[in-house]
């Protein structure tokens, strides 16, 4: 009972954080440190790497919780990765997409070239581009475009969770800024002392058309020393359907990693 009470206190404390203060705790994974599940049997090739596709059949799993389907993540003839949110015509249930790299990555620059209206996604839709060890609320760097269920919330979220040996404090920045279209370059550079996030209008490998940048420095926020997989996902916050009731698709033109 003491153990259960302890977990409930953690859930309540995290859930009480305001969205302006940062990313909300994922109700599917916070309790008892449950880690989001991953598929183990379907893969795709994208940007020179092999990626696992999450698919657990009809089982709900975090983040969300949601249903995850192989068909919602695929690479087209031009080598671009498509992530889709679709409503199953038979069951009426919304289905999400996530891919995870088989390779792990450490210090260096992570960059995604994304096609999609990241600044105007439905309030319940989350696009995540991140480096993650699998330990809940530890060793993670996120770029997430999401309003976390509240239409008036900032839509751009940049978060760093500390390494496992350190305390629970994490860095987060939730903001809005001017976008110039539906093509964006999304980047973070991780070193031993900082994580520098950048979002650019258009597709660039330098800082041309920089729209926003923010930096997490250590100290006071610790930064993971681990090599970890990269994740890309498109999902529904708390499993809530998009208000438009329409299929949503994001296209990742390229993922690039440049080691230090």
pLDDT in the model for residue 180: 92
pLDDT in the model for residue 40: 53
Exposure string (b/e) for 29-42, b if CB count within 10 Å is 16 or more? bbeeeeebbbbeee
Cβ neighbour number for residue 260 with a 10 Å cutoff: 10
Q: What is the mean pLDDT of residues 20-42?
A: 45
CB-CB contact of 19 with 150 (8 Å): yes
Global confidence as pTM: 0.87
pLDDT in the model for residue 168: 81
pLDDT in the model for residue 169: 87
Q: What is the mean pLDDT of residues 160-164?
A: 94
pLDDT in the model for residue 10: 34
Q: What is the mean pLDDT of residues 63-77?
A: 97
Give the integer Cα–Cα distance in Å for 245 and 212: 31
Look at 6-10, 32-36, 131-135, 246-250 and tell me which has the smallest mean pLDDT: 6-10
Cβ neighbour number for residue 63 with a 10 Å cutoff: 23
Per-residue pLDDT tens over the stretch 76-123: 999 999 999 999 999 999 999 999 999 999 999 999 999 999 999 999
Query: What Rg do the C-alpha atoms of the chain give, in angstroms?
Result: 17
Per-residue pLDDT tens over the stretch 144-159: 999 999 999 999 999 9
Q: Work out the pLDDT band at 16, boundaries 50, 70, 90.
A: very low
Per-residue pLDDT tens over the stretch 172-205: 999 999 999 999 999 999 999 999 999 999 999 9
pLDDT in the model for residue 77: 98
Please give the mean pLDDT across all residues of the chain.
87
Q: What is the mean pLDDT of residues 26-48?
A: 60
Q: Which residues pair with 87 in a beta bridge?
A: 94
Residue-by-residue DSSP string for 80-122: -EEEEEEE-TTT--EEEEEEEEEEEE-SEEEEEEEES-GGG--
3-class state of residue 247 by DSSP: coil
Task: List the one residue out of 73, 85, 68, 84 whose CA is nearest residue 46.
Answer: 73
Is CATH 2.60.120.200 the right assignment for the domain spanning 2-259?
A: yes
Q: Report the length, in residues, of the chain.
A: 260
Look at 18-32, 36-50, 195-209 and tell me which has the smallest mean pLDDT: 18-32
What residue ranges do the domains of the chain occupy? 2-259
pLDDT in the model for residue 36: 56
Residues 6+ apart with CB under 8 A from 3: none
pLDDT in the model for residue 37: 58
For residue 251, pLDDT over 50 is answered with yes
What's the half-sphere exposure (Cβ side, CA atoms, 13 Å) at 223? 19
Look at 21-30, 33-42, 99-108 and tell me which has the smallest mean pLDDT: 21-30
Phi/psi at 105 (5° precision)? -130, 145
């Amino acid at each position: 009972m003491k153990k259960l009470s302890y977990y409930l206190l953690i859930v309540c404390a995290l859930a009480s954080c305001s969205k302006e203060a940062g990313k909300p705790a994922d109700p599917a994974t916070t309790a008892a440190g449950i880690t989001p599940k991953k598929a183990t049997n379907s893969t795709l090739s994208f940007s020179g790497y092999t990626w696992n596709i999450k698919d657990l059949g009809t089982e709900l799993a975090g983040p969300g919780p949601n249903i995850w389907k192989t068909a919602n993540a695929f690479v087209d003839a031009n080598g671009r990765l498509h992530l889709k949110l679709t409503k199953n015509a038979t069951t009426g249930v919304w289905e999400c997409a996530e891919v995870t790299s088989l390779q792990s990555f450490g210090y260096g620059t992570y960059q995604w070239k994304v096609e999609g209206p990241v600044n105007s996604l439905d309030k319940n839709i989350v696009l995540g581009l991140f480096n993650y060890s699998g330990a809940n609320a530890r060793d993670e760097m996120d770029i997430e475009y999401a309003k976390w269920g509240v239409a008036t919330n900032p839509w751009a979220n940049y978060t760093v969770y500390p390494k496992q040996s350190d305390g629970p404090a994490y860095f987060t920045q939730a903001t809005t800024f001017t976008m110039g279209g539906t093509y964006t370059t999304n980047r973070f550079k991780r070193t031993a002392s900082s994580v520098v996030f950048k979002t650019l209008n258009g597709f660039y490998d330098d800082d041309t058309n920089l729209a926003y940048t923010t930096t997490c420095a250590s100290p006071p926020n610790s930064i993971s020393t681990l090599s970890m997989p990269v994740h890309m996902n498109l999902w529904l916050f708390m499993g809530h359907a998009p208000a438009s009731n329409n299929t949503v698709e994001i296209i990742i033109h390229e993922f690039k990693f440049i080691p230090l």
